[in-house]
Amino acid sequence: MNSLERVKAALERRVPDRVPYFESVIDEKVMQALLPGCDYYQFNEWIGLDNVSQNRSSWRRDDVEFIDAERGCSATNGV
């Protein structure tokens, strides 16, 4: 099974070939120490995670597109 098939099987209560593996937050310093020059998605591929989450260290505030800057609402935080 590939990662997508594995996660979908688990969500559908079928039996995957192994338990899907994912992590919600990986500190950027840890990623850079283990795989210098990588971004969050490259690191997840390299380490073999099955699911990629919105990692707080994967974005920079200056890259956020605000819908309502006064309230701090952005397209990235789903508010």
Which of 34-43, 45-54, 68-77 is predicted with the least confidence, judged by mean pLDDT? 68-77
Reported as a single tens digit per residue, the pLDDT across 25-43 is 788 888 899 999 998 888 8
Kindly tell me if the per-residue pLDDT of 70 is higher than 50.
Answer: yes
Kindly tell me if the per-residue pLDDT of 75 is higher than 80.
Answer: no
Structure tokens given for 75:
């397209």
Kindly tell me if the per-residue pLDDT of 57 is higher than 60.
Answer: no
Domain limits of the chain? 23-79
Q: Where does the chain show beta strands of DSSP type E?
A: 22-23, 51-52, 66-68, 73-74
pLDDT of the residue at 50: 83
Kindly tell me if the per-residue pLDDT of 63 is higher than 70.
Answer: no
